[in-house]
Structure 1
Amino acid sequence: MHLPSVSHRNAVNRILRYLKSVLGKGLIFSKNGDLQVVGYTDADWASSITDRRSTSGYFTFVGGNLVTWRSKKQNVVSRSSAEVEYRGMAHEVCELLWIRRLLTELGFKQEKPLELHCDSKSSINIAHIPVQHDRTKEKIEKKIIHLPFVKLEDQLADIFTKAVYGRVFHDSLTKLGLVIYMH
């Protein structure tokens, strides 16, 4: 804000063009009785044909309401689909922990473990192996994070990592809480 440049103005113009194109669309937030923090994560192994890097994405819900989402190409080339899924899980664990800390600072202590839904059984198994100790495994051992397996057809984060059929895409948008208002 102190030294705006042409690239900043271009970014603002891009945001304004996007907002203009999505008039009548929005997210519904509703009171659901609790503030359970739940995430969905997915990754697509070596999806870029130019550099073989993978894309990972996640959605985060608080009290059943969508609050954060992200899709990003990973910084490294992974050797297996399990590795790429595990890397994606680690990014969402950081997001879940940040939201947990924020809620705690606002006076809403989380009693239940944070849930991270993943459709990769091998990545979930890697996360439970106590041999290597990283932050993700530590949070699982302390029961701060719970990793339930989610079936492929219930994996919301798929729309960030791979092409899906139109019906699946629109069903996912409904599950995410996106609504379209008619003018």
Structure 2
Amino acid sequence: FMVEPKRVHWTVAKHVLRYLRGTIKSGIRYARGEGIRFMGYTDADWAGSTTEKRSTSGCCFSLGSGVVSWFSRKQKSMALSSAESEYIAASMATCEAISLRKLLAALFGQKVEITGDTLRQSELTENP
């Protein structure tokens, strides 16, 4: 598209520039002296999809006080228990954490903590 740009390329470029102009003052701000920890939080429901009986996993990662990544995805397989659903969510979050960790390793080089809302999930992530 750089050699022979079309009208659609120009339209998309204008859209991106309008978005950037509209969000120029948005961003993640960090206060001085604030500890910057890379944290992940995860949760899942169990068989929440009424038609397919599949669970949904959710996760967000924060760096200091700002959220830097998040997702909410339907799990690919049907979990047989709420503990299994939470374990799948923790596994999905771990995959995301590995990607983010590689990205942030050069800047911070810290471990990633992933927490959930159930004791079972915490036990499973510590001792799979």
Normalising by structure 2, we get a TM-score of 0.72
User: Runs of 5+ in structure 2 lacking a partner?
Assistant: 2-7, 9-14
Matched pairs, number: 110
Q: Hey, what does 2:12 align to over in structure 1?
A: none
What's the offset of the Cα at 1:100? Answer: 1.6
| Counterpart residue type for residue 75 of structure 1 | K
- 1:81-100 → structure 2 map (5 Å cutoff): 81-100=82-101
Alpha-carbon distance in structure 2 between the residues aligned to 1:39 and 1:107: 18
Q: Hey, what does 1:109 align to over in structure 2?
A: 109
Q: Hey, what does 2:54 align to over in structure 1?
A: 53
Structure 1 residues 100 and 66, CA gap change in structure 2 (3 angstroms): same
Alpha-carbon distance in structure 2 between the residues aligned to 1:90 and 1:97: 11
Q: Hey, what does 1:36 align to over in structure 2?
A: 37
Q: Deviations over 1:95-138 (max 9, x none)?
A: 1222221112x34322xx31112011112222333xxxxxxx4x
Task: Say if 1:61 and 1:68, in contact at 8 Å, map to a contact too.
Answer: yes
Task: Say if 1:37 and 1:96, in contact at 8 Å, map to a contact too.
Answer: no
SS in structure 1 of the partner of residue 62 of structure 2: strand
Q: Percent identity?
A: 33
What's the offset of the Cα at 1:90? Answer: 0.9
Q: Deviations over 1:24-58 (max 9, x none)?
A: 9x965111444311111000100011111000111
Alpha-carbon distance in structure 1 between the residues aligned to 2:53 and 2:46: 8
Structure 1 residues 29 and 107, CA gap change in structure 2 (3 angstroms): closer
- 1:141-152 → structure 2 map (5 Å cutoff): none
Alpha-carbon distance in structure 1 between the residues aligned to 2:126 and 2:109: 25
| Counterpart residue type for residue 120 of structure 1 | T
What RMSD in Å do the two structures reach over aligned CA positions?
Answer: 2.7
Q: Which consecutive aligned stretches of 4+ in structure 1 deviate over 6 angstroms post-superposition?
A: none
What's the offset of the Cα at 1:84? Answer: 0.3
Alpha-carbon distance in structure 2 between the residues aligned to 1:107 and 1:34: 14
Alpha-carbon distance in structure 2 between the residues aligned to 1:100 and 1:34: 17
